């Protein structure tokens, strides 16, 4: 137990400075964003290096040493009471998440952990999706996990990235809530992050079920918060921050691709100096290009298993398998397992057509969604009713 807490403290202390290049500052809000951006930067280097070499413990340890050197380089920012307190708070959240988890991790056993192991043992493998189709739509968080396997944390390091994202978002929201309430600044952003924080504690609290979904959802909440917070004072630098977060969300969960529309919409509604050839924006473009190339190498498709994104001329491309996986994924999302128990004559393709799935889905998945959302919505309504008299004062 003590070892978990010490490691939780060290991963925060060592890796946060990587984000200092993106976001400056020396308070809890700034440190939390630095830690998020450090995860994104480490993921980029993990992906880049895997084109040429396995991410062995020795190679990963280079970033461990770099983290220590960055702490020393920016010692005024990190050798202070505020940062130590931030690291302790982060360590407590990470510790609680990991210690309260259990062994029920079906997706982790199927492809999260095996693919992380492959990244640690091998450089990028052409056509690996033909070995197992799930390797075709792997998330960037598996690359992040792989680079945390170093000589200090060893294999245990792979469990930290998702918890780091959770602790960063939670501390960011709690710190902003504390600042708003302390200053009696009752604005729209306050209520948004309050409702998001309540939902995180209510629903996203079981680490063993995080998978690739929870990090993406947490970052989506952060993206919404940052857009609302910075909309009035948008700049090229802040826009880059939003694009980085949005891109990382998509790389974790392709179904959240619409998140890219939020920062893009800002370009049309806000007037600020935007330069696509800014070195920060070029970093985002390069990251996206590397991710696309990785997808093509492992599956033959830009967006596996989207059939039209597959390249026929590549010998390892299997469009038939991609189409089959796509149909299966859609059917399962629409409640196919529940329907299959009662009817075995209709194919997955036909089940997904003409809203044939709606009746089965509404009797099962919809009820589960309502079961989750109803208590949350009721709590939100109660809060709104309690403060409704002050709405005129809220910006």
Residues 270-292: b if buried by 16+ CB within 10 A, e if exposed: eeeeeeeeeebbebbeebeeebe
CA distance 329 to 159: 26
CA distance 346 to 351: 6
Q: Give CA angle at 66 (47, 38), nearest 5°.
A: 55
pLDDT > 70: percent of the chain: 93
Is there a contact between 169 and 214 (Cβ–Cβ < 8 Å)?
Answer: no
Q: Dihedral sign for Cα 206, 211, 213, 219, please.
A: positive
Is there a contact between 239 and 266 (Cβ–Cβ < 8 Å)?
Answer: yes
pLDDT of residue 389 exceeding 50 = yes
Predicted local distance difference test score (pLDDT) of residue 394: 57
| CB-based contacts of 181, cutoff 8 Å, min separation 6 | 190
**Which is nearest to 328 in space by CA: 344, 311, 305?**
305
Give me the phi and psi of 105, to 5 degrees please: -135, 70
Predicted local distance difference test score (pLDDT) of residue 218: 96
**Which is nearest to 98 in space by CA: 11, 1, 229?**
1
Write out pLDDT tens, residues 102-120: 654 546 656 678 889 999 9
Tell me how crowded residue 38 is: count the other CB atoms within 10 A of its CB: 27
pLDDT of residue 136 exceeding 90 = no
Predicted local distance difference test score (pLDDT) of residue 104: 45
Ranking 74-78, 299-303, 388-392 by mean pLDDT, the lowest is: 388-392
Q: Give 333-355 as a DSSP string.
A: HTTHHHHHTT--SS-HHHHTSTT
Three-state helix/strand/coil letters over 89-135 = HHHHHHHHHHHCCCCCCHHHHHHHHHHHHHHHHCCCCCCHHHCCHHH
Q: Is the backbone peptide bond immediately before 305 cis, with ω within 30 degrees of 0? A: yes
Q: Which residue has the tokens 């991963």?
A: 11
Write out pLDDT tens, residues 271-285: 766 666 777 778 888
**Which is nearest to 144 in space by CA: 223, 215, 90, 95?**
215
CA distance 85 to 25: 15
Write out pLDDT tens, residues 160-200: 999 999 999 999 999 999 999 898 888 889 989 999 999 99
Mean pLDDT in residue range 312-340: 86
Q: Give 188-236 as a DSSP string.
A: HHHHHHHHHHHHHHHHS--GGG-TTHHHHHHHHHHHHHHHHHHSTT--H
Longest dimension (CA), the chain: 68
CA distance 108 to 100: 17
Q: What share of the chain is helix, strand, coil (3-state, %, to 5)?
A: 75, 0, 25
CA distance 172 to 225: 10
Ranking 6-20, 24-38, 320-334 by mean pLDDT, the lowest is: 320-334
pLDDT of residue 269 exceeding 80 = no
Write out pLDDT tens, residues 36-72: 999 999 999 999 999 999 999 999 999 999 999 999 9
**Which is nearest to 306 in space by CA: 248, 356, 254?**
254
CA distance 72 to 189: 35
User: What is residue 301's three-state secondary structure?
Assistant: strand
Predicted local distance difference test score (pLDDT) of residue 160: 94
């Amino acid at each position: 137990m003590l070892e978990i807490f010490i490691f939780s403290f060290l991963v925060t202390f060592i890796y946060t400075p990587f984000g200092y290049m993106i976001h400056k500052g020396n308070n809890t809000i700034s440190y939390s964003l630095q830690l998020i951006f450090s995860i994104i930067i480490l993921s980029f280097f993990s992906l880049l290096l895997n084109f040429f070499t396995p991410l062995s413990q020795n190679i990963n340890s280079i970033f461990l040493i770099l983290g220590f050197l960055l702490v020393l380089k920016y010692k005024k920012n990190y050798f202070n009471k505020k940062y130590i307190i931030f690291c302790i708070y982060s360590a407590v959240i990470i510790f609680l998440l990991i210690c309260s988890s259990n062994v029920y991790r079906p997706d982790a056993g199927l492809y999260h952990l095996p693919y992380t192991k492959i990244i640690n043992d091998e450089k990028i493998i052409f056509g690996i999706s033909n070995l197992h189709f799930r390797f075709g739509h792997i998330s960037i968080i598996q690359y992040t996990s792989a680079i945390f396997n170093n000589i200090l944390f060893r294999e245990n390091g792979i469990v930290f990235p998702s918890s780091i994202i959770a602790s960063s978002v939670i501390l960011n929201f709690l710190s902003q809530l504390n600042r708003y309430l302390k200053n009696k600044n009752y604005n729209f952003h306050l209520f948004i992050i309050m409702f998001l924080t309540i939902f995180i504690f209510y629903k996203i609290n079981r680490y063993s079920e995080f998978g690739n979904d929870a990090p993406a959802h947490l970052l989506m909440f952060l993206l919404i918060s940052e857009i609302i917070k910075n909309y009035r004072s948008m700049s090229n630098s802040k826009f880059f921050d939003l694009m980085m977060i949005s891109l990382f969300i998509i790389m974790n969960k392709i179904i959240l691709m619409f998140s890219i529309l939020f920062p893009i919409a800002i370009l049309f509604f806000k007037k600020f100096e935007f330069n696509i050839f800014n070195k920060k924006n070029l970093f985002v473009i390069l990251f996206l290009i590397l991710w696309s190339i990785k997808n093509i190498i492992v599956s033959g498709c830009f967006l596996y298993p989207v059939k039209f994104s597959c390249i026929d001329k590549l010998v390892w491309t299997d469009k038939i398998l991609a189409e089959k996986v796509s149909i299966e994924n859609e059917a399962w999302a629409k409640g196919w397992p529940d329907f299959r128990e009662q009817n075995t004559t209709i194919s997955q393709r036909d089940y997904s057509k003409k809203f044939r799935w709606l009746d089965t889905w509404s009797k099962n998945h919809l009820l589960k969604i309502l079961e989750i959302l109803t208590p949350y919505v009721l709590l939100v309504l109660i809060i709104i009713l309690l403060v409704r008299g002050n709405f005129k004062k809220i910006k």
